[in-house]
């Protein structure tokens, strides 16, 4: 009995050892299988290309990083920063600068520089157009007759002086100038061939007229004076020297309508 019991103990001991050894084998096999799977997955997945961006470079805005490195959008240069100093001046300053130019050719060169300079200089050039010769007079009248001009030249003219052409000025000569409705000073001295028809066309609907000189215009009558009283309420000065066909009644009407009038020549027509 003792011998059988010892044999059973030995057998049981061997079985226990076998179980432990088998368990160790199973544990080692599981570890090796896990390592093999890791190595297989690492080798099967493709390696990222050298030029492929990683998550580090996919930030929304690198300029917000601690390094403070600006991105390309922050480094863009706007057109305003590239403007020369002359183009940063407001229009009022440009007009003041251009107004100091004496020569009309210089103002013309300014207009040919760029569109912005042309818009700010055209008023100065056409403020008092020179009608000293008939070719210049023809060019001015031709420009005013354009249907769709680039600029509204007729609104720029504030002074008209035809005294240099007085000997040959007539109603036909002044009719193209009748479109200028903002004339402030009108000089028609010595225009002996000018009649009421031409003068009334010039002053009609011209509420900006401040000074009018029709001295020595012998064909001007009281009809023109009545037209002045009706259309020129801002008139301050009137020279009718040598106009012998003007009645006192028309001058009284002028005084009643033109409240700002200060000077009338000759003194016999003083209001």
Following DSSP, what letter does each residue of 88-146 receive, concatenated? GS-HHHHHHHHTT---HHHHHHHHTT-HHHHHHHHHHHHSS---SSHHHHHHHHHHHT-
Paired sense of beta strands 211-213 and 185-187, if any? parallel
Task: Answer yes or no: is 144 within a domain.
Answer: yes
Listing DSSP states for 169-230 in one string gives -BHHHHGGGGG----SEEE-TT-TB--HHHHHHHHTT-TT--EEE-TT-TT-BHHHHHHHHH
Q: How far is CA 14 from CA 19, 144, 257, in A?
A: 9, 127, 141
In terms of residue numbers, what domain contains 138? 128-269
Domain boundary (100, 126, 152) is at: 126
Are 189 and 161 members of one domain?
Answer: yes
Q: What are phi and psi of 64, to 5 degrees?
A: -85, 0
Are 245 and 135 members of one domain?
Answer: yes
Domain boundary (89, 111, 126) is at: 126
Q: In 3-state terms, what secondary structure has residue 270?
A: coil
Residue 35 CB neighbours (<10 A)? 10
* N-to-C CA span, the chain: 166
Residue 146, token pair as written in the block: 């354009």
Q: What whole-number distance in Å separates Cα of residue 85 and Cα of residue 106?
A: 21
Chain segment 103-138, per-residue pLDDT in tens: 888 999 999 999 999 999 999 999 999 899 999 999
State residue 87's pLDDT score: 80
Are 108 and 197 members of one domain?
Answer: no
**pLDDT at position 208 over 90:** yes
Instruction: Give 63-71 contacts, CB < 8 A, sequence gap 24+.
Output: none
Are 132 and 248 members of one domain?
Answer: yes
- Model pTM? 0.65
Domain boundary (126, 155, 186) is at: 126
Residue 239 CB neighbours (<10 A)? 21
The residue ranking higher by pLDDT, 48 or 126, is 126
Least confident of 116-130, 175-189, 254-268: 254-268
CATH number of residue 146's parent domain: 3.80.10.10
Q: What whole-number distance in Å separates Cα of residue 74 and Cα of residue 240?
A: 71
**pLDDT at position 89 over 90:** no
State residue 25's pLDDT score: 47
Average pLDDT over residues 13-35: 52
Strand order in the sheet with 263-265: 159-161, 185-187, 211-213, 237-239, 263-265
Average pLDDT over residues 215-221: 95
Q: In 3-state terms, what secondary structure has residue 159?
A: strand
């Amino acid at each position: 009995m003792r011998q059988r019991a010892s044999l059973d103990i030995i057998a049981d001991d061997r079985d226990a050892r076998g179980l432990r050894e088998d368990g160790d084998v199973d544990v080692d096999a599981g570890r090796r299988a896990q390592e093999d799977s890791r190595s297989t997955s690492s080798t099967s997945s493709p390696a990222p290309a050298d030029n492929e961006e990683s998550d580090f470079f996919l930030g929304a805005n690198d300029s917000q990083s601690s390094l403070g490195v600006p991105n390309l959008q922050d480094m863009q240069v706007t057109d305003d920063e590239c403007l020369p100093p002359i183009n940063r001046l407001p229009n009022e300053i440009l007009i003041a600068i251009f107004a100091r130019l004496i020569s009309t050719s210089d103002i013309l060169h300014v207009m040919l520089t760029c569109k912005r300079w042309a818009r700010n200089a055209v008023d100065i050039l056409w403020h008092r157009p020179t009608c000293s010769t008939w070719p210049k007079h023809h060019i001015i009248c031709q420009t005013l007759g354009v249907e769709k001009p680039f600029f509204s030249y007729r609104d720029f003219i504030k002074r008209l002086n035809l005294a240099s052409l007085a000997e040959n000025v007539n109603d036909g000569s002044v009719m193209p100038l009748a479109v200028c409705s903002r004339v402030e000073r009108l000089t028609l001295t010595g225009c002996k061939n000018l009649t009421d028809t031409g003068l009334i066309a010039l002053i009609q609907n011209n509420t900006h007229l401040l000074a009018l000189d029709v001295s020595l215009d012998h064909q001007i009558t009281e009809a023109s004076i009545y037209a002045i009283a009706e259309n020129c309420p801002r008139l301050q000065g009137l020279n009718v020297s040598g106009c012998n066909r003007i009645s006192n009644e028309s001058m009284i009407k002028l005084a009643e309508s033109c409240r700002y009038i200060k000077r009338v020549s000759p003194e016999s027509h003083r209001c």
